[in-house]
Amino acid sequence: MIKKDLSFHIFEAESLEELSQEEQKLVLLAKEMTQKAYAPYSEFFVGAAVLLENGEVITGSNQENGAYPSGLCAERVAVFAASAMFPGIQMKVIAVSAKTTHLKIEEPVSPCGACRQVLLEYEVLQKAPIRVLLAKDDGKILIVEKVHDLLPLSFSGNDLKKNDPG
């Protein structure tokens, strides 16, 4: 048996000023989108903003439903809207922010497993990394260079491709 190590790097910024102006705007939009979340059950408000290759920014917020799990996370709202509105245009960066009325958020919130899987689908499809910015209200931001780092040993559409018999 051989032991294999998996590793990746996360960068931490203490404030928005450590990011490019483009990424600062994206984080601010994600934070703004927490105000538009519909989360009457969990009171966990999440916002996301996706920067596309063409300069467009598409935003989203989580949308809950009393019939769990019929709601949708902010990241998927933004990513699916971006893909529907601008098919074939690469996603460069996604910023995510969360707030709540009843819990103390100690660290920037990262995407759930379903959102990671969806983000990875687009990263694989476009054959280019999607940078992930995870922002906390106090200014701390975690930066992940590509979605694949958030989902090691991942499953993607590539695993479903048929073998070429020829």
User: Catalytic: 123?
Assistant: no
Considering the candidates 43, 75, 107, 123, report the single residue annotated as catalytic.
Answer: 75
| Distance of alpha carbon 154 from alpha carbon 157, whole angstroms | 10
**Encoded tokens for 153:** 């040993």
Q: How far apart are CA 75 and CA 94, in angstroms?
A: 8
Catalytic positions, written as ranges: 75
